[in-house]
Amino acid sequence: MLQRTVHPVFKSIFYAFLVLWGISVIYPLFWTFTDSLKNNQQFYFNMPWSLPKFPLLWSNFEYVWTNYNFGKYFINSIAVTAGATVLGLVLAAMTAYTLARYKFFGSKVLYTVYISSMMVPFALALIPLFFLVNDLGLANNRFGLILVYASNTLAFGIFVLIGFFRTLPKELEEAGAIDGAGYFGTFFRIMLPLSRSGIISVGIINVLEIWNEYIVGTILVIDPTKYTLPIGLAAMQVEMQYKTEWGPLFAGLLFTIVPVLVVYIMAQRHIVSGLVAGAVK
Amino acid sequence: MNIGKAKLQRNLFIAAFIIPTFLFFCVFTIYPLIQALYNSFFDWSGMSQHKDYVGLQNFKDIFDDPIMLTAIGNDYFLVIGKIIGIMAIATFFAVALTRLRLKGTAFFRSIFFIPNVLSAVVVGILWNFIYNPQIGFLNGFLSLFTSSKVEINWLGFESHTIWMLLPPAVWAGIGFYMILLIAAITSIPASLYEAADIEGAGQWHQFRHITLPLIWEQMKISVINIMMTTLNGSFVIVTIMTAGGPDNSTQVMGSYLYQQAFKQAHFGYGAAIGTVILITSLITTLLLQWLLRKEQVEVS
């Protein structure tokens, strides 16, 4: 049928836009890499798009890792991301399962509280959070960040996981009851493994969110040895007003970007399905 | 007796699974939100002994504060700019990658999402480099066409610098909304398009009369989501790229809240700004829902 095909001219126009946008996404990553191998002179006397001169300054990576504490930031980021993701997932999964499967006094209200909290701009909470965390003695503390980040992931996690638990057939629990698994056994040995894909989706999306988070971190952490990568990067950029070290800055960017890119490439399907499930309210 | 025991067991299980999460959530999310609303009625420098009830004075001050009015204006500039930019481009790509039978769609789809997995801090620094007056891409590119080196300070205009923050914000937002719209389009029954093909309806006609009405609900959700994330989160890109400057001209509500509270210790005033963010966000949600509902009737 003729109508089915798109005119070749239109097709090439569409392709042109797609390729252009694709370049606008890929090229910044490419230049981040090439420019991380330059010294200051090359930034000031060559074009930003020119390739780095030999010898390539691989030492920029080492320099930013030790002199700018990115080694510490990296470890802090990993600790905070892992801790908050696991804590947030466990708490969210328990509530999501219960809300998906049981009706009890106040269950509707509880669901509404979690879901509507997603509508409230979190900027509002920053000031009391700062004082709360200080009062708890958890300022400048990775554990403090873990608690706050875990709490921030709950509403989204509960919302998406309720959807996943509801798709599991009810007969599974009945079978579990017959086998004498009990409530806890049914949850941990039957329901949790079966909702694996939903839990992985939520977990990975939380990992990305927490790894990239800046606002809360910059308010709760003042001690540079406790910075996570985004806070460290922002601080380094401010320092650049006094001493310019573009090569190391790009090396620092790569330390922040590469882990999320690896996670994205490995888990793309999970991320997309989780986000789609979370956005269809 | 047995029934009573079973019921007790069930309730114990529910309590054990609900209460820890909820207590945790109350402490770290609900309590700060409520406390913020409460604080906005106080003049407060952070010390508990200097916390004076001032009623609505903070809100009166907000509407007499020229920087706050600039900030609200900038917030809505970004909201409108991002809604138009992101929705137009994301819809275009979503349709191109689903309905036009092009090759390599999976590849483009995965590539386009990459900016969404980057931290806003990373996005801000990358675009700072593009705009950098001495060594940035933009001036370097423009210098190719001029005899003398171009040295425009892209982030230092006396006014309208906020325009420069729109491209990074749109660039970073496309992928996510494109994915949502792709999901909406692929869930449209193929039979509708087949019927349209048989009747000889062209691609534009199909988009206008099948795709658009059937993804309208998803577009509405996307628009509201863009609005909420912008009011709540433009803070990062502003802080990284301009720190609210020059001369507070690119301040948004979030960055101004941060400056007032954490740089100048006006915690009561900062809390009031937070309350304004909440109120504007809720009002705009209702407004958008109303506007887009009307539109939907016209379309279908």
DSSP B247: T
Residue A38: left (phi > 0), alpha (psi -120 to 50), or beta?
beta
Q: Does the distance separating the beta carbons of B179 and A257 come in below 8 Å?
A: no
Residue B10, pLDDT score: 87
Enter the tokens of residue B62: 């907000």
Q: Does the distance separating the beta carbons of B30 and A110 come in below 8 Å?
A: no
Enter the tokens of residue B156: 């230092």
Best of B129, B143, B153, B236 to disrupt the A interface (most A CBs within 10 Å) is B129
Residue among A94, A124, A219 whose CB faces B277 most closely: A124
Fill in the amino acid letter for A11: K
**Residue B53: φ, ψ to 5°:** -70, 125
Residue B297, pLDDT score: 47
SS3 assignment, position A23: helix
**For every one of its 300 residues, what pLDDT tens digit does chain B have, with 9 covering 90 and above?**
577 888 888 889 999 999 999 999 999 999 999 999 998 898 888 776 678 888 888 899 999 999 999 999 999 999 999 999 999 999 999 999 998 888 888 999 999 999 999 999 999 999 999 999 888 899 989 988 988 888 888 998 888 899 999 999 999 999 999 999 999 999 999 899 989 888 888 888 889 889 999 999 899 999 999 999 999 889 999 999 998 888 899 999 999 999 999 999 899 999 999 999 999 999 999 999 999 885 554 444
**Residue B51: φ, ψ to 5°:** -125, 95
CA distance B171 to B89: 10
Residue A280, pLDDT score: 64
CB of B196 closer than 8 Å to CB of B206:
yes
Closest CA to B167 of B98, B81, B90, B99: B81
Work out the angle at residue A184's Cα, subtended by the Cα atoms of residues A167 and A88, and round it to the nearest 5 degrees.
70
Contact of B80 with chain A, judged by CB distance below 8 Å, is answered with no
pLDDT tens across A171-196, in order? 877 777 777 778 888 888 888 888 88
**A253 burial class (0-12, 13-18, 19+ CB within 10 angstroms)?**
buried
Closest CA to B268 of B31, B68, B55: B55
Please measure the distance between the N-terminal and C-terminal CA atoms of chain B and give it in whole angstroms: 60
Residue B300, pLDDT score: 42
Enter the tokens of residue B118: 């980057």
> Which helix (H) or strand (E) segment is B142 a member of?
helix B137-143
pLDDT tens across A96-137, in order? 999 998 998 899 999 999 999 998 998 999 999 999 999 999
Best of B12, B100, B119, B170 to disrupt the A interface (most A CBs within 10 Å) is B119
